[in-house]
Amino acid sequence: SDAAVVPALVIGTGYAGCVTALRLAQAGVDVHMIEMGLAWDTPGADGKIFANTTTPDQRSYWLRTRTKQPISNFLGFPIDKDVPRYTGILDAEEFGGITVYQGRGVGGGSLVNGGMAVTPRREYFGEVLPTVNPDEMYNVYYPRANAELGVTMIDPAWFDTTACYQYARVGRKHAQRSGFPFVYVPNVYDWNYMKQEAAGTVPKSALAGEILYGNNHGKKSLQQTYLRKIRATGRVTISPLHKVTSVAPASGGGYTVTIEQINTTGATVATKSVTAAKVFFAAGSVGTSKLLVKLKSTGALPNLNGEIGKGWGDNGNVMCGRANHMWDPTGSLQSSIPTAGIDNWAAGGTFAEVAPLPTGIETYASFYLSITRTPSRAEFSWNAAAGRVDLNWQTAWKQTSINAAKTIFDKINAKEGTIYRTDLFGVYKVWGDHLTYHPLGGAVLNKATDNHGRLHGYSGLYVMDGALIPGNTTVNPFVTITALAERNIEKIIATDL
Ligand code: FDA
């Protein structure tokens, strides 16, 4: 085991981890980032770093021997297939009643996600982070997050004419014909690159169906934004394929962090121990919650308070498809990057994205991912007999989300004389209600921590990530996670260093 002392150790390299590491390094602090996934900087045998959605391979899934595709069926037929077990990019982590999709690798969720970069409407911010001052978020930290992440809006004139957004224009038409407000959804994808893809002058990514397993071009993941700046500081060490398994007070002060180095089949090849003055949990809502619940329950961090593991929500995610008439084709070429939304939050508690079905053939289907208001919150707990952390999610809780989504799609179906697709999630199954892409909560701000992420019970331990947010952001979460981390680390640097 290696003996080393670091001033700041960051667990995880997603949005919150990158914000934390960059700002600490810029303040002159040496930082060690620990990431259980791969670096995703080396091409595979096909010359590409990332696999395509149409041809998932070992790179696509985290330590599974069979794919678990979010849209599991096509025309009713299951489309999952066997793949070699490998430390791939997308984790379909299964808890009782819900599959939680997460990115694995240097860049976290930014590697796999759709890049939809949405700031919640200010009038709803009170239900997102009730103890945070909206003025500082909307005047300082949301603008900072949007600028660093490279968030931009599609050119509306191009949206109106390009073949690859016909599906989104159909979505807009149907929304507006039923009286729902249509909104463009900002994204971190490089729209000029996408225009060149459409013109055939550059290698295709969004227009080749790349998403979920990484984008080889076009998308500004954290690799192109925060991580570039992090490397430029020269103060940050990043260790991929290293998993934090324990954090406990060290006898001489600070914390002893236990880290398992793994190989690409997930086997532990070395166990290391690092002493860190400060430890920042940025392992994502699930990763941070699992670590803290285990450490509290097994005696490594017994003074963590009773809020640890609580307040977890799925951001009300639910998916569905609609079958259009033959005169409403959605197009055989569909950009994998969504940019159209239907905002019915005020009236129905739903923000729905018009999502692509990039199959390469005309499907006459409209597909949607809805984010809904939901009151239900689950709790993580330590299962001593099994030696793992469980989540007490109830499948029935998704009914609230389905009902909210129906406030939009029942009305559109009635207006258009259309029906739901029943072939995308099984046979005669309308709702994709078995999953979330947006895990939030488990170490809620101002409950498990103080109002800036300092864990109660231990000085020098911080939660920085989606675990702080109590279950719902009214829109896609990563801009809020980034902005909140910017807010909290600024305070921590000013007062705790
Ligand atoms: P994040 O999950 O990004 O990072 C945590 C990191 O910690 C991971 O890299 C993980 O491997 C690592 N880790 C965990 N445990 C560890 C341990 N014990 N030791 C070491 N490392 C560990 N959001 C959005 O706003 N717009 C969108 O379009 C989408 N779309 C989308 C699609 C899909 C398929 C997914 C899975 C997710 C999205 N999201 C999204 C959600 C978004 O990606 C997510 O909310 C953020 O990535 C969460 O950021 P965090 O910093 O909290 O953790």
Q: Is 438 tagged catalytic?
A: yes
Atom of ligand 1 nearest to the CA of 12: 7
Q: What local confidence, expressed as pLDDT, does residue 164 receive?
A: 98
**176 alpha carbon – ligand 1 mean position (Å):** 33
Would you say residue 402 has pLDDT above 90? yes
> Quick check: CB of 112 below 6 Å from ligand 1?
yes
Binding site membership of 188 for ligand 1 (Cβ less than 6 Å):
no
pLDDT of 53 above 70: yes
Query: Is residue 381 scored above 70 in pLDDT?
Result: yes
- Is pLDDT above 80 for 83? yes
pLDDT of residue 1: 42
Q: What is the pLDDT of residues 9-22, one digit of tens each?
A: 999 999 999 999 99
What are the DSSP calls for 399-441, one per residue? Answer: HHHHHHHHHHHHHHHHHHT-EE--SSSSSS---B-SEES--B-
Number of the ligand 1 atom closest to the C-alpha atom of 90? 36
pLDDT above 70: percentage of residues in the chain: 99
Which ligand 1 atom minimizes the distance to the CA of 101?
Answer: 36
Atom of ligand 1 at shortest range from CA of 15: 51
Ligand 1 and 186: CB distance under 6 A: no
- Full-model pTM: 0.98
DSSP 36: S
Among 133, 7, 25, which Cα is nearest to 484's? 133
Q: 270-314: per-residue pLDDT in tens?
A: 999 999 999 999 999 999 999 999 999 999 999 999 999 999 999
Distance in Å, CA 108 to ligand 1 centroid: 5
What's the mean per-residue pLDDT of the chain? 97
217 is catalytic: no
Mutate to test the pocket of ligand 1, among 19, 40, 100, 102 (most ligand atoms within 8 A of CB): 102
User: Per-residue DSSP letters for 255-267?
Assistant: EEEEEEEE-TTS-
Specify whether the CB–CB gap between 86 and 158 falls below 8 A. no
DSSP H or E run through 490? helix 478-496
**What was the pLDDT predicted at 3?**
54
Name the CA radius of gyration of the chain, rounded: 22
Tell whether the model's pLDDT for residue 413 goes beyond 90. yes
Among 438, 475, 488, name the best residue to mutate to test ligand 1's pocket (greatest count of ligand atoms within 8 A of Cβ).
438
Q: Is the predicted pLDDT of residue 138 greater than 80, yes or no?
A: yes
